[in-house]
């Protein structure tokens, strides 16, 4: 599972606690950092103060992003990421939110979300979600490089 890590952006403390609990129950764990609002997320990804030290605040391999956030919304964070001219724009983003509204789903895909997950009602469903998430993204998926590199095939 290499050194993949997930940056979770979730503002609701109850939701966060339950999510954390579900992921912690998994056998093989991976790093998960948590932020509580959109501005913080962007500052983290930009390496702005107080996140300049990449030793203490490493770049995550992907984002797990709620949509309803204080300050900047999940949509705005997603838009910001995709708008970057650096390799950061490739950052895989999985939306994890309570809305099953097709307007939100479509908008997330339009803005470039890699995947859209709906927060389930029960703990056991949440544990299933955590397990599938780990199995797919952490064990199977190949991640892009986020450090600047000379771009290859699409020039």
The total number of residues shown for the chain amounts to: 155
- Identify residues 23-62 at the interface with another protein (CB under 8 A): none
Residue pair 96/66 in contact (Cβ under 8 Å)? The answer is: yes
Q: How far apart are CA 65 and CA 6, in angstroms?
A: 10
Residue pair 75/83 in contact (Cβ under 8 Å)? The answer is: no
Q: Is 154 in the site for another protein (CB under 8 A)?
A: yes
Contacts of residue 59, Cβ cutoff 8 Å, sequence gap at least 6: 45, 146
- In the numeric block, the tokens 């913080």 are attached to 40
For another protein, the closer of residues 48 and 109 by Cβ is 109
The interface region with another protein, picked from 1-9, 38-46, 73-81, 92-100 by CB under 8 A, is 92-100
Residue pair 63/92 in contact (Cβ under 8 Å)? The answer is: yes
Q: How far is the CB of 47 from another protein (least distance, A)?
A: 20
Tokens of 61: 């391999």
Q: Is 106 in the site for another protein (CB under 8 A)?
A: yes
For another protein, the closer of residues 56 and 153 by Cβ is 153
Q: Can you give the binding site for another protein, defined by CB under 8 A?
A: 12, 14-15, 18, 21, 68, 87, 89-90, 92, 98-102, 105-106, 109-110, 112, 114-119, 121-124, 126, 128-129, 132-133, 135-137, 139-145, 149, 151-154
């Amino acid at each position: 599972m290499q050194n993949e890590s997930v940056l979770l952006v979730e503002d609701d403390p109850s939701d966060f606690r339950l999510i954390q609990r579900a992921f912690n129950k998994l056998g093989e764990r991976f790093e998960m950092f948590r932020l509580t609002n959109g501005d913080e997320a962007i500052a983290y990804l930009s390496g702005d103060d107080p996140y300049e030290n990449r030793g203490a605040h490493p770049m995550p391999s992907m984002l797990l992003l709620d949509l309803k956030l204080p300050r900047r919304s999940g949509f705005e964070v997603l838009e910001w990421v995709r708008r970057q001219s650096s390799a950061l724009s490739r950052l895989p983003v999985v939306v994890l939110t309570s809305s099953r509204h097709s307007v939100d789903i479509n908008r997330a895909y339009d803005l470039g979300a890699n995947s859209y997950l709906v927060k389930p009602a029960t703990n056991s469903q949440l544990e299933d979600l955590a397990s599938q998430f780990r199995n797919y993204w952490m064990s199977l998926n190949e991640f892009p490089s986020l450090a600047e590199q000379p771009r290859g095939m699409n020039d």
